[in-house]
Structure 1
Amino acid sequence: MTTTPVPPIAKKVPTERNHHGETFIDHYEWLRQKESAEVLEHLRAENAYTEAVTAAQAPLREAIFSEIKHRTVETDLSVPARRGAWWYFSRTSEGQQYPVYCRVPVSDPSSWEPPQVEPGKPLPGEVTYFDTNAEAETHPFYSLGGLSTDREGSVLAYSEDTSGDEHYTLRFRDLTTGENLPEVIDNVHGGPILEPTGRRAYYMVADSAWRPYRLYQHTVGTSPDQDRLLLEITDEQLWTGMWLSADRLELVIYSGNSEYNETRLLDVTDPEAEPVLLIGADRRLLHAVEPLELDGERLLLITHNQHGPNNALSLTSASALTNQPAEAPLSLGRTLLLHEDTVKLDESVTVTASEILVSARINTVESVYRLSLDTVREVRDGGQGVPTSSLPGLPFEEELFTCAVTSAEYDAPVFRVVYTSWMTPPRIYDVPHDDGASPAAPILRRETPVNDVDLQDYCAVRVWAPAPDGAQIPVTVMHHRSVRPDGTNPLVVYGYGSYEVSMDPQFGIARLSLLDRGIVFAVAHVRGGGELGRAWYEAGKKLQKVNTFTDFIAATDHLVSLGWGDPERVAAMGGSAGGLLMGAVANMAPEKYRAIVAQVPFVDNLTSILDPDLPLSALEWEEWGNPIEDPEVYRYMKSYSPYENVRETEYPAIAAVTSLHDTRVLYVEPAKWVQRLREHQRGESPIVLKTEMDGGHGGASGRYEEWKDRAWDYAFLAWWLGAHVKRS
């Protein structure tokens, strides 16, 4: 005799929240006490309940995991990339969770032909300089924040997170001996940057809200107590990051949010240099700066929204910016690339000694375009700027793809891009720089292999779904070629729709397991993302955020009307801000979905944004509005907050998946949400919470654990859609 599992019931402890004359009683806020033994026991009880409820899905999970594992070439490698006197690459081996980082000396300085690496066969002179598996061996979780080497390849700076909370430890390694240096710097944010000589490293430290706000300079070989504070950003709405200029002479320091930022430059060749402010946050300009050396003159390329929301590119100099009166309108010099309503110019460009590489999005597709230095000279000397759409792009034939620069050494004769599509595994190309003659064709260096699959068995098409207000929503539909839009198919709809993040074409081995079971997998490119330019993003944020949710529901309805999904066999999936989307549509249209997977879901968003002391909350005001100061924003957010709008209804099967140490979306949000959902569930479908007790925002670490997580999510959906069996 079997017994029906009983879900854990959290106790109720009323907590009042008072804002703008409204009181909200939260009975589950006590679950925020992460160190409480009672809270941890509750989370473990939730995991046990989830395991019991989904026990019948275990064979399906194992099947999907095995398919992912089998199709992935486990013993694999990357294409060597040249930096200084070394070729750097990585290897992965069957049975190992993490990559091993290797290098070989450059034998012919005049050649940029990468050495031919074979799986399992070391090259002459090959050295392993960082074995992630060995570093991770004694930790339940392991994630690298970054690896940085000097020009000669003699010093390595790296940061590691061993808990999942994104608090990194910075270490240094002498690559001539393989031994770590004695200095250790705790609580670093992200990865370090070594300047070319390897004498100095730069790193960020976060405040209590986990906002990177202090920039330090460390002299390698000295005590961290002597580190020099270069910059402290006190504005709680600014997030600070940094990168080296293309010629590695200056550190570009960015402090900003989704609506404006400020930029500084630091001369890394001078150990006593101070950051120089180029454009302050008071200018309310969204921009990015890249230094450019042209004909012996130090100039700046500035991508900015001064001329329109989709950005333009201008040419100026540091002195021209710093010498402007603060009260005068900001002049950004001469315009190189004009603003276009139908082309979104990405914030950053890639500078080389031969040409400028521009990333731009045209009709949802992001690719690389080439801006010649001769055109830059013409504009510098008084000529007119040109539209980005007039620039030559790279010759790829698929309709829907993604192409991005992965490396472009400043003086190299080639640059490297990665190309992928929904059904094309990532390809690495080296592209010769344009020498003024006919452009040389990209050189294919590698296509990621996939075992035992004919990718011609699958296809991806684009459809457009009408939104309630008439907007046309792009939707990508992926399916096995044997599937027809006949109204009988199980359908999974995926969405995100925040922060101007685009769901660009990207190949996924795991997704094939759903397609093989006859499931149609659709990506709804809803407003709040960046697929159709800045206006598409702005129409899905702040006081227009509900467009994100209604777009997703409209996309679902349209797919069903076209026959891509059986209305009784539709599921939804999204993570983080896409988890907010899942929570919202669960409340707004629960009858349309059979199952929902919400990964690290941002479902108690109003509570979080109302507390500026929580990680990242103040930074979020530019995305959602400030409900602390603005009663209209408060009421609007309250109208769609998933946690606060749970209602008496028949909810679908819902799985909330989270991680205990996530610093971006705290575990407490789905933990509270699940309790309220169960209270108001009037149907028979289960609502479960699965917490990774050793993971962070991305879940558990290691590729096998990642595959297991993906198999769990996909099996949950396939089970509830009745799509257990692969099609013949």
Structure 2
Amino acid sequence: MAQIPDCEKYPYVHLKHKHRRIDNYYWLNQRDNPEVLDYLKRENDYTAAYLKSSEKFMEDLFHEMKNRIVEDDQSVPYKKNGYWYQTKYAKGKEYAISTRRKGDLTAKEEIFLDENIQAEGHSYYAVASKSISPNNQWLCFGEDTVGRRLYTLRFKDLFSGEFVGEQIEGTTGRALWAGDNKTVFYTKKDPETLRCNQVWRHTFGTNQDQDVLVYEEVNPEFDCGIYKTKCQTYIVIGSSSSTSTEFHYLPTTEPDAELRLFLPRAPKHEYSLTHYEGNFYMLSNHEGQNFGFYKCDPANPEIENWETIIAPNDNILLESVEIFKDYFVVVERKGGLVYLRVLPTHGEPAYYIPFNDPTYSVDLEVNVEFDTEELRFGYTSLTTPTSIFSYNLRTKEQQTLKQQKVLGEFNVKDYQSERIWAKGKDGVEIPISLVYKKGFKDQKRKPLLLYGYGSYGVSLDPYFSTIRLSLLNRGYCFAIAHIRGGEDLGRPWYENAKWLKKKNTFNDFISCGEHLLETGWVDKDALYAMGGSAGGMLMGTVMNMRPELWAGIVAQVPFVDVVTTMLDESIPLTTGEYEEWGNPNDKEYYDYMLSYSPYDNVEKTNYPPLLVTSGYHDSQVQYWEPTKWVAKLRDYKTDNNPLLLYTEMEAGHGGVSGRFEQLKEVAREYAFLFGLEGIKE
């Protein structure tokens, strides 16, 4: 067995609010320092040595998961501006192939971007948005070959098939064309903080140094972005924090026009903006946390002039609205589930599209056209492979356009999903979604993997996973804890677990684990936990709070050095995060963050087995956070349980690129969990 890595200590003193913190591993933030790189290598070597006996098992798991996936797959085509667009995957290839056909689906197929060709020679490759000019000739797309989420915009002539030499560096990858087929609007990031803070205008055929700054967001707590309204009438520039939004716009046919402000930002006011037939339409929380739906005349955008279409409801969160000529389709969330409500605009009664699973996920697909009765949506559940449906809003007839194929031996009837409720520490009812292979309840040994996130208002809707079958088929139950911090039960569910209420997230997750143990869903020494990013912070915190509760934990790219990171305004995800976590320059928030920050609360005690993953080029959670955490845990923990750190040296926050290469990461995590259960094949 390889020697447990030893990390040098170079004490660094953090002083804030007259409080001193000694950080022995602060030096690990010295990117490209040979001593840092050596330590990361030794940690990777140690993890590889620990998992050496599982190498064949990991390889088998990789092929098992890969062999369930249709390699030569393709998306459902959709029509836009005279062309049918489709994404395809070829057998043996890692990346997407984007195609189109002019006029109808029988026309000759054009491959306008093959990412497999573009990825050649790169260990990492990712494409951001693909924007095509209104005359259908020019493609603008963003590519990242590092994993830092800094994209270079590139251009291609789709009529000749040739790439154009000009490039735009340092962008978010997001770009769109104005109506003149020569003007491109794009967003840029601050090179240090990686905050999206600028919108630029580029004239096709000129150098980047001639580009014009159109908008700059100077408030460090706000990001900005761009999009076109569905009707293609306006280019919209949005600025947002987690509690406030503001929109400017200009006509797509007048790219040099001055920006017009729709409605100025106000504290705790969030709204969205779209346009149709001369009116603006908004979702807004100005009358209620769960948002209402409104419209107004562009000439009179003040709130007092808004017409209410749907008033806010304390029990129903309005998430989005798709506008058609004769219908509004509203995405609602109530009781922890998502619903699609259809509102005819000409007097007929509203109705809901029916769904039958006890727990499921539904979302809207690409719906480009206004003058249509067809709605496209996707549906999946923990036991139902993802399906794409076409739904006639007038006749209510439903057609399956595609259902995810699962290769190999798979029968949906072999699996069961349920939704149960746990009581939180303060009495709230917390939903838990579960899936297992039938027969699980009668097993002598019942291991369970509990997954959680609980931040930024992100809801964990249940979905089908062919990868997860490798877990279920080996006797595990998989559970999702719909804890506060997400919006699973509406906006208040999120608001009650941020700032000085953040501990509700951690207490809820622990309550879910305790409930599963008390009700016999899992054996007392077989409860495992997993979470990534902010969910990795969740893992670190609940491990500190209740180390004896967990049989093992997987923390993926975990945000664990909360106080230090939130005090460093040069780091991405700092100033923009104040409205999520609070500002530690305020002593009240400093003290509260310090009370739960995983890195700051490591103690000399026994900790459960732990696998930590990281990405060296991660722009969201810097690689040194999980690295420091592991180093400190090694110094403090009093047990002999495995503690593993694996850093992807050629990847960022999302892990390695490639459709199938990512399965190797899952195989490593599963092999770690299976090893703790003594499962070797």
TM range (shorter): over 0.9
Deviation of residue 40 (structure 1)? Answer: 1.2
Contact conserved, 2:282 with 2:294, CA < 8 A, in 1?
A: yes
Partner of 2:654: 698
Q: Distance in 2 between matches of 1:469 and 1:682?
A: 32
Q: Which deviates more from structure 2 when the two are superposed, residues 336-345 or residues 484-493?
A: 484-493
Report what 2:205 is aligned to: 221
- 1:263 counterpart residue number: 247
The CA deviation string for residues 691-728 of structure 1, in whole angstroms up to 9 with x for no partner, is 00010110000011111111111221121133444xxx
- Secondary structure of 2:469's counterpart equals helix
Give the superposition deviation at 1:663: 0.4
Specify the alignment match of 2:499 in structure 1: 542
302-311 or 224-233: which moved more? Answer: 224-233
2:482 to 525, 534, 550: 525
Question: 299, 304, 327: which is aligned to 2:279?
Answer: 299
Q: Distance in 1 between matches of 2:513 and 2:393?
A: 44
Tell me the CA shift for residue 332 of structure 1. Answer: 5.2
Partner of 1:410: 369
Shifted more, 276-285 versus 549-558: the winner is 276-285
Report the counterpart of residue 38 of structure 1 in structure 2: 35
Q: Deviations over 1:239-279 (max 9, x none)?
A: 11121101111112211111111111121110221221112
Go from structure 1 to structure 2 and tell me whether the alpha carbon gap of 1:152 and 1:580 turns closer, same or farther (over 3 Å shift).
Answer: same
Alignment length (residue pairs): 678
1:683 equivalenced with 2:639 (yes/no): yes
Q: How much identity, in percent, do the aligned residues show? A: 36
One of 186, 206, 210 as aligned partner of 2:194: 210
Question: Structure 2: which amino acid aligns with 1:573?
Answer: M
Task: Say whether 1:651 aligns with 2:607.
Answer: yes
TM-score, normalization: structure 1?
0.91
User: Where do residues 85-96 of structure 1 align in structure 2 (5 Å cutoff)?
Assistant: 85-96=82-93
Counterpart residue number, 1:334: 307
Residues 358, 417 of structure 2: 8 Å contact kept: no
Residue 273 of structure 2 aligns to a residue whose secondary structure is strand
User: 2:422 touches 2:432 (CA, 8 Å); kept in 1?
Assistant: yes
* C-alpha spacing 1:711/1:391, structure 2 compared with 1 (3 Å): farther
1:148 aligns with 2:145: no
**For 1:539 and 1:131, how far apart are their aligned partners in 2?**
45
Q: Where in structure 2 are the equivalents of 1:209-288 lying within 5 Å?
A: 209-282=193-266, 284-288=268-272
CA deviation after TM superposition for structure 1 residue 124, in Å: 5.2
In structure 2, what is the Cα distance between the partners aligned to 1:591 and 1:221? 63
| Secondary structure of the corresponding residue to residue 188 of structure 1 | strand
**What are the superposed Cα offsets for residues 626-671 of structure 1, whole Å, 9 maximum, x if unpaired?**
111x111100100000000000111111111010000000110000
Matching residue within 585, 592, 597 for 1:641: 597
Structure 2 residue ranges without an equivalent (≥5): none
Equivalent pair of 1:103/1:129 in contact (CA under 8 Å): yes
* 1:318 counterpart residue number: 298
Which residue does the alignment assign to 2:667? 711
* Aligned partner (choices 48, 60, 65) of residue 62 of structure 2: 65
Matches of 1:216 and 1:356, distance apart in 2? 33
Separation in 2 of the partners of 1:459 and 1:190?
41
Which stretch of structure 1 is more off in the superposition, 595-604 or 56-65?
Answer: 56-65
Evaluate the alpha carbon distance shift between residue 418 and residue 198 of structure 1 in structure 2; reply closer, same or farther with a 3 A threshold. farther
Q: What is the one-letter code of the residue matched to 1:582?
A: M
- Rate the CA distance shift 1:454–1:196 in 2: closer, same or farther, 3 A: farther
SS at match of 2:520: coil
**370, 376, 381: which one aligns with 1:421:** 381
Work out the CA distance in 2 between the residues paired with 1:43 and 1:429. Answer: 47
Deviation at 1:623, TM superposition (A): 0.3
The residue that corresponds to 2:118 in the other structure is 135
Encode CA deviations 1:378-425: one digit per residue, 9 max, x unaligned: 9xxxxxxxxxxx842223322322221111123452232111111111
Deviation at 1:460, TM superposition (A): 1.0
**TM-score, scaled relative to structure 2:** 0.97
Matched, 1:360 2:317: no
The 1:717–1:332 alpha-carbon spacing in structure 2 relative to 1, beyond 3 Å, is farther
Matched, 1:344 2:317: yes
Q: Bigger shift: 353-362 or 565-574?
A: 353-362
Q: Look up the match of 2:288.
A: 308
CA distance in 1, matches of 2:513, 2:280: 46
Q: Which SS does the other structure have where 1:587 is aligned?
A: helix
Question: What displacement does 1:582 show?
Answer: 0.3
Residue pair 1:485, 1:563 contacting (<8 A) in 2 also: no
Greater than 6 Å deviation, 4+ residue runs: none
Aligned equivalents of 2:444, 2:542: Cα separation in 1: 22
8 A contact 1:485–1:565 mirrored in 2: no
Structure 2 Cα separation of the partners of residues 305 and 484 of structure 1: 44
The counterpart of 1:104, out of the listed 101, 111, 117, is 101
Q: Work out whether residues 358 and 419 of structure 2, in 8 Å CA contact, stay in contact via their aligned partners in 1.
A: no
- Name which of 168, 188, 193 aligns with 1:185: 168
CA-based RMSD of the aligned residues comes to: 1.6
Letter in 1 for 2:310: L
For 1:37, the aligned partner's letter is P
CA contact (8 A) 1:85 1:152 kept: no
Aligned residue for 1:359, secondary structure, equals strand
Structure 2 residue 466 is matched with structure 1 residue 512 = no
**Gaps (5+ residues) in structure 1?**
108-114, 116-122, 325-329, 379-389
1:51 matches 2:31: no
For the residue of structure 1 that corresponds to 2:227, the secondary structure is strand
Residue identity matched to 1:216? W
Q: Deviations over 1:656-692 (max 9, x none)?
A: 1010000000110000000111111111112111000
Q: CA deviation at 1:613?
A: 1.4
Q: Residue 554 of structure 2 contacts residue 612 of structure 2 at CA under 8 Å; is this kept in 1?
A: yes
AA at the equivalent of 1:671: T
Cα deviation for residue 617 of structure 1 reads: 0.4
Aligned: 1:472 with 2:429 = yes
The alpha carbon displacement at 1:353 in A equals 2.8
Counterpart CA distance in 2 for 1:605 and 1:105 is 51
- Counterpart-to-counterpart distance in 2, 1:272 and 1:141: 37
1:625 aligns with 2:622: no
Q: Is the 8 A contact 1:103 1:128 kept in 2?
A: yes
Instruction: Quote the Cα distance in structure 1 between the aligned partners of 2:569 and 2:276.
Output: 39
Asked whether the 8 Å contact 2:454–2:486 carries over to 1, the reply is yes
Question: 2:601 and 2:527 mapped to 1: Cα distance?
Answer: 22
Q: Which amino acid aligns with 1:175?
A: L
Counterpart among 157, 162, 165 of residue 174 in structure 1 = 157
Q: Deviation of residue 196 (structure 1)?
A: 4.6
1:536-573 deviations in Å (ceiling 9; x for gaps): 11111111111111111111111111111111111110
> Residue 314 of structure 1 contacts residue 332 of structure 1 at CA under 8 Å; is this kept in 2?
no
Cα gap change, 1:685 to 1:69, in 2 (>3 Å): same
Question: Which residue identity is paired with 1:239?
Answer: D
Q: CA deviation at 1:226?
A: 2.2
1:571 corresponds to? 528
Letter in 1 for 2:389: Y
Correspondence for 1:381: none
Aligned match of 2:140 in 144, 157, 163?
157
The answer to whether the 8 A contact 1:490-1:723 is kept is no
- Give the equivalent residue in structure 1 for 2:355: 396
